Chains A and B, each alone.
Chain A
Amino acid sequence: MKVLKYLLVGFVFGVVLTKSEAVSWYRIYEMFQFQSFHMYGIIMVAILTGVIGIQIIKRKNIKDIDGAPIEIQDKEKGSARYWIGGLFFGLGWALVGSCPGPIFILLGAGFWSVGIVLLGALVGTFIYGLFQNKLPH
């Protein structure tokens, strides 16, 4: 059951992202052309659901599944890494139309060419690891 719940959450995630077409290169292109509300609606409702859920967790001191207090870590302070890293990510996102979640989902669905994107993403992650100490954060 311990492992199964992660498999189940992942499964639902894969189905939802596919059926909402958030994994589709077309939907990402359409979003960046401001020609549809669909993707913006998905992102906004997800955040709204998340904001409400997290506020409930914090205010009611809800415990996690093992009974431990839920602590959500704040993101590290900083600016350069978020602006520059974000910019690089966005360029890639709009080019291949998939972010890390969809890369795996599409590969699972049998879009083999996305394997090249995954290979590139691993190389990109490795490049960051190599130069981490030399980059402004």
Chain B
Amino acid sequence: MDFIFQTWAWYVSGFLIGVIMLSLIYFGKTFGMSSNLRSLCSMAGLGKRVGFFDFDWKAQRWNLVVVLGAMLGGFVAVHFMADASNVSINPKTIEQLAQLGIDAPNGKLMPDALFGSQIFESPKHIILLLIGGILIGFGSRYAGGCTSGHAISGLSNLQIPSLKAVIGFFIGGLIMAHFLLPLIF
């Protein structure tokens, strides 16, 4: 039973993610998380002001249920399936992060420097997380999908548009990780 608490191997995790996508196809749906953001905007009544949100979000309720399940899954995995050995990233990465003033994982999923409760008192950190969110929300809707919709669903169906989007994801990610993050921290 030890394996439940340890970091799950990439081949097990990747396979299960593929199976999750295929299950949704079998249910007559598609695997895509970012479209829920549009549903949430529509639920908030934004459809009256902006045509893009004027659609039948109730037909997408199934996907909001997937989200609810994912939140429960995250809760159970973090509170009942965690171990101090988790998130054992490359020691070189830890060294690099230390130079940026970002704490080592030591079993935690998220660095305190960016996500600890003290950030609520720091306008700089709040703005950083807000900007990151805006980039994700805007970019995924503009590109018509995120990691689940393009990288997993789209590439599994051999879609060239998804390949373009995924290359875009990585160019953006590399620019941020190599050039912008060192400037920010």
Seen from chain A, the residues whose Cβ lies within 8 Å of a Cβ on chain B are: 3, 5-30, 32-33, 35-51, 53-54, 57, 62, 64-66, 68, 70, 72-79, 81-101, 103-114, 116-130, 132, 135
CA distance A113 to B116 in the complex (A): 7
- Decide if A88 touches B89 in the complex (CB within 8 Å): no
Q: Given A10-B73, A12-B16, A91-B173, A117 and B132 touching (CB < 8 A)?
A: yes
- Decide if B27 touches A5 in the complex (CB within 8 Å): yes
Interface flags, B146-181, vs A, CB<8A=1, else 0: 111011111111110110111111111111111011
- Decide if B156 touches A120 in the complex (CB within 8 Å): no
Interface size band for B: 35 or more
- Decide if A83 touches B164 in the complex (CB within 8 Å): yes
Closest to B151 in A: A43
Seen from chain B, the residues whose Cβ lies within 8 Å of a Cβ on chain A are: 4, 7-8, 10-28, 30, 33-34, 36-38, 40-41, 46, 50-53, 62-63, 65-79, 81, 86-87, 89-90, 92-93, 96-97, 105, 109-111, 114-117, 119-120, 126, 128-148, 150-159, 161-162, 164-178, 180-181, 184
Contact partner of B161 (CB less than 8 A), chosen from A5, A82, A108, A110, is: A82
Nearest-Cβ distance from residue B167 to partner chain A, whole angstroms? 7
- Decide if A108 touches B75 in the complex (CB within 8 Å): yes
Residues of B within 8 A of A76 (CB): 144, 161
Contact partner of A104 (CB less than 8 A), chosen from B67, B76, B172, is: B67
- Decide if A108 touches B73 in the complex (CB within 8 Å): yes
Subset of 10 A-B contacts with CB under 8 Å: A7-B66, A15-B81, A29-B97, A47-B18, A51-B155, A86-B139, A89-B169, A113-B116, A117-B136, A121-B136
Contact partner of B168 (CB less than 8 A), chosen from A21, A28, A82, is: A82
Closest to B40 in A: A122
- Decide if B132 touches A41 in the complex (CB within 8 Å): no
Nearest-Cβ distance from residue B108 to partner chain A, whole angstroms? 8
